[in-house]
Amino acid sequence: AQRVTQPEKLLSVFKGAPVELKCNYSYSGSPELFWYVQYSRQRLQLLLRHISRESIKGFTADLNKGETSFHLKKPFAQEEDSAMYYCALSNTGGFKTIFGAGTRLFVKA
C-alpha cells in the first residue's frame, strides 16, 4: 500500500539552528517524492521535488531508496520558514498524490 509517514507533528527550533523534517514512504514502484508547504493564510504550494535535485529557500531533500526516506533539511532555519510542511508521493505516471500527516515547523527568534 502507498503510504507517507511524517513522525513529527511539531518541530520547534531556534533561528539559525539546523532543521530536519523526517519523511518515510512505502510504495511498490518508483514514486515521485515532493515536499509541499503551507504558510499561514496561504494555499498549499510545492516547495521541492526529488527529481529536480534543487535547493529552494535553502531547503534540500535527498531521496534514499534504501531507507525509503525523503527527509527535508535546512542548515540554518529562519523565522519565515515557520509553516506546515507536507511530504507527498505521486504514483507512477503522476495520476494522484498521497500526503503525509504534515509537520508544523516553528522557528523561534
Partner 1 sequence: SAVISQKPSRDICQRGTSLTIQCQVDSQVTMMFWYRQQPGQSLTLIATANQGSEATYESGFVIDKFPISRPNLTFSTLTVSNMSPEDSSIYLCSCMSTANTEAFFGQGTRLTVV
Binding site residues, partner 1, CB under 8 A:
32, 34, 36, 43-46, 49, 51, 86, 88, 90, 94-102
**Smaller CB separation from partner 1, 68 or 90:** 90
Which of residues 76 and 106 has its CB atom nearest to partner 1 in the complex?
106
Q: Where do we find the cell 529536480?
A: 52
Any residues with CB less than 8 A from the CB of 8 and at least 6 apart, and which?
21, 22, 103
Q: Where are the alpha helices (DSSP H) in the chain?
A: none
For residue 46, the minimal CB distance to partner 1 (Å) is 5
- Residue whose cell numbers read 515532493: 34
Q: Nearer to partner 1 by C-beta: 47 or 107?
A: 47
